[in-house]
Amino acid sequence: MAIHPSDPPAAAVVAVKRAVASRVGNPKFPRSRLSTANRDAVFISLPHRIAYLAFGKIRRADKLRAAAKLGNWRFLVIEAKRRTAADDGGGGEEQEPIAAATIVKSAATMYETTYELGDLNEGPFVAATSEAIRRAEKLPEVREGRFEAFLLTVPAVHVTALWLQDYQDCHGDADLLLTLPPSDQALEPYRPMASAAFLAVVQDLARKVTSEYATRG
């Protein structure tokens, strides 16, 4: 597999499993899809780091890797559902992403770091992350290369993207980004972009934000 799995701390994995298990089938969370999920069919998948690009870093950024800051761990929560023959003509199993869990550090000493649930999200970026991975795995450059997945968020310009960092390029020039909907419409959803091209669009969006604030002032 060309997108290689990240290696989260064991304590973070324990924390996310505990947090998800406490919510699956739990009527205390009636608005959550986890509350109606099958406990035996739910599992965590695709551990990856969240990268954050602050507004103050955008304009001066030359390389995305240097400008973005790595943050917490994020996991997709998947429910395996049995398809009937009437659904697709052949039955089988479908793995549906139903949530994303963000795990944060709760305490750290020189001997141990502990983690806890920071956020459990069931919004559109959950399915979009899974779809972006599915599309990325079909790209020739991804199939033939070695990449690690990150979730890049740029809140100031309303952009979130799957960021595939190329293991074989320490500068990040060969990195690929697939924008997740619903991000700013200046970026086409799921269109693979080189790091430099993606950053150029984000910088243009940031200039527009600055201009709008100046006009209002």
Domain map of the chain by residue range? 3-216
- pLDDT tens digits for range 68-91: 999 999 999 999 987 765 555 556
Q: Would you state the pLDDT for residue 84?
A: 65
Cis? peptide before 182, omega within 30° of 0 = yes
4 is written with which tokens? 């290689």
Q: Would you state the pLDDT for residue 88?
A: 58
pLDDT-derived band at 214, boundaries 50, 70, 90: very low
Q: What is the DSSP letter of 140?
A: H
- pLDDT tens digits for range 131-142: 999 999 999 999
- Entry field: residues in the chain: 217
Q: Are 166 and 147 in contact (CB under 8 A)?
A: yes
Query: Between 82 and 94, where is the model more confident?
Result: 94
What are the E-state strand segments in the chain? 3-4, 42-52, 69-83, 92-108, 113-121, 147-154, 159-166, 176-179, 192-194
CA distance 94 to 78: 10
